[in-house]
Amino acid sequence: MISMAEALAVLRENLPAPAVEERPLEEALGLALADDLLAPEPSPRYTNSAMDGYAVRWEDVRPAAPSRPVRLAIVGESRAGAPLAGPVGKGQAARISTGAMLPEGADTVIRVEDAGEEGEMVLVRAARRQGQDVRRRGEEFGPGDLLLRRGARVSAPQAALLAAVGIERVRVFRPCAVALLVTGSELMATGGAIADHQIRDSNMIMLNAAARQAGARLVSTRRVIDDRRATVEAIAEAQAELILCSGGVSVGRHDHVKAAAEENGFAPLFWKVRQRPGKPLYLARRGDTLLFGLPGNPVSAFMCFVHYVRPAIAALSGQPFAWPTARALAGEEMANPGQRPALLRVRRLASSASGDCLVASAERQGSHMLTSLTGAFGYLVLEPEQRVAPGQVVEVYLF
């Protein structure tokens, strides 16, 4: 067995470079940018009004007061998409809408509530400051300014920003392609009648969902009986950047994943990690394809997925090799009496008086019990014989 740290180091050293492709902006949502993106134009593109009101010259309206309103001649209107054709001169004003271009000569906007009209004149009763309610060209950013860094995920705000400056296509990291193989002659699809010696397959839907939630693109899924030739053929037909197998990686006579992978040209990187659950984890590589052999036990398979496969999928999709974590306080004593590091599932308790999240060991920890996952929101990594005292700060790896 190797340590968890050694397994992670081997995995990171063998991660292929993520693939890059160009996509239309609307097809890039949820993906990571492969380049720094610079602004091709300023924002705002032109100086405009932040309010409905009147575009004026500050020197005309500076003395305005409720008792001494300034009278200005209205020379037209500047609307969004239809700017005033001419300038605003001395003693003049133009009606202006929010977002409309500020006319030449004007430098200030008087809000509607600070003015009133009499025929073709406007009476300005208050002028707060020069340049009020004016959005200056380029005040947000100018041409060449950095908009988004390489690796930034394109979500709704990022897509809106890029569309606003006319960027229609972007280079993004392609989502990691995953082929899923679930082994086990005893496994049957959920929903049908099964014999007493059979088990309903939960790994297929669990790992399918977990991979998709991690941002992967599932290209194939397949159940494989415990037969060496069938396992060899299934691995040979799996075409993906990451092949994810569950079951068949232990030491039994009917565990064929390791031998079948090597028959397909995969070089083993490690097998067995000093941890509980999930000891018989297997990793192999062939060219730019990684093959994970997860335990068949659903809880062990999931714990290996979140600690090893999920950050690998992130890295292969252009994101950092990392885990979502949160700081919390132990709400009770928790311990690992075993001789291997434990991935201890934890549940959330009520917050402490200081507002910190309190966590405690999940009620069930059996590696055969799926409720040890559904009753938890994350896990701690506890070293052998490590104890956590109530109130101690802990780092929770989040599911």
Is residue 350 very low, low, confident or very high in pLDDT (cuts 50, 70, 90)? confident
Q: Where in the chain is the domain with CATH 2.170.190.11?
A: 48-135
Count CB neighbours of 357 within 10 A. Answer: 17
Is residue 43 within 8 A of residue 141, CB to CB? The reply is yes
pLDDT of residue 252: 73
Predicted confidence (pLDDT) at residue 353 exceeds the cutoff of 70: no
How far apart CA 99 and CA 107 sit, in angstroms, is 15
Q: Read off the pLDDT of residues 378-390 as tens digits, 9 standing for 90 and up.
A: 999 999 999 999 9
pLDDT of residue 193: 75
Mean pLDDT of the chain: 94
Q: Tell me which CATH code domain 325-398 carries.
A: 2.40.340.10
Peptide bond into 298 cis (omega under 30): no
Q: Read off the pLDDT of residues 223-263 as tens digits, 9 standing for 90 and up.
A: 899 899 999 999 999 999 999 999 988 877 778 999 999 99
Q: Where in the chain is the domain with CATH 3.90.105.10?
A: 20-44+139-173
Is residue 352 very low, low, confident or very high in pLDDT (cuts 50, 70, 90)? low
Q: Where in the chain is the domain with CATH 3.40.980.10?
A: 4-18+175-316
Is residue 367 very low, low, confident or very high in pLDDT (cuts 50, 70, 90)? confident
Q: Where in the chain is the domain with CATH 2.40.340.10?
A: 325-398
Mean pLDDT value of segment 195-219: 88
Q: Quickly list H helices, 214-309.
A: 228-237, 257-263, 298-304
pLDDT of residue 184: 83
List all residues 6 or more positions away from 67 whose beta carbon is below 8 Å from its beta carbon.
Answer: none
Predicted confidence (pLDDT) at residue 349 exceeds the cutoff of 90: no
Query: Does domain 4-18+175-316 sit in CATH 3.40.980.10?
Result: yes
How far apart CA 180 and CA 240 sit, in angstroms, is 9
> In the numeric block, which tokens belong to residue 373?
């996952």
Spell out the CATH class of 20-44+139-173. Answer: alpha beta
Closest CA to 291 of 315, 270, 261: 261
Q: Read off the pLDDT of residues 265-310 as tens digits, 9 standing for 90 and up.
A: 999 999 999 999 999 999 999 999 999 999 989 999 999 999 999 9
Fold of the domain built from segment(s) 48-135: Molybdopterin biosynthesis moeA protein; domain 3 (2.170.190)
Residue 43 CA neighbour count, 13 Å, CB half = 16
pLDDT of residue 5: 97
Distance between terminal CA atoms of the chain? 25
Q: Read off the pLDDT of residues 40-93 as tens digits, 9 standing for 90 and up.
A: 999 999 999 999 999 999 999 999 999 999 999 999 999 999 999 999 999 999
Q: What is the DSSP letter of 217?
A: E
Q: Read off the pLDDT of residues 308-320 as tens digits, 9 standing for 90 and up.
A: 999 999 999 999 9
> In the numeric block, which tokens belong to residue 58?
């500050």
pLDDT of residue 58: 98
Position with higher pLDDT, 45 vs 194? 45
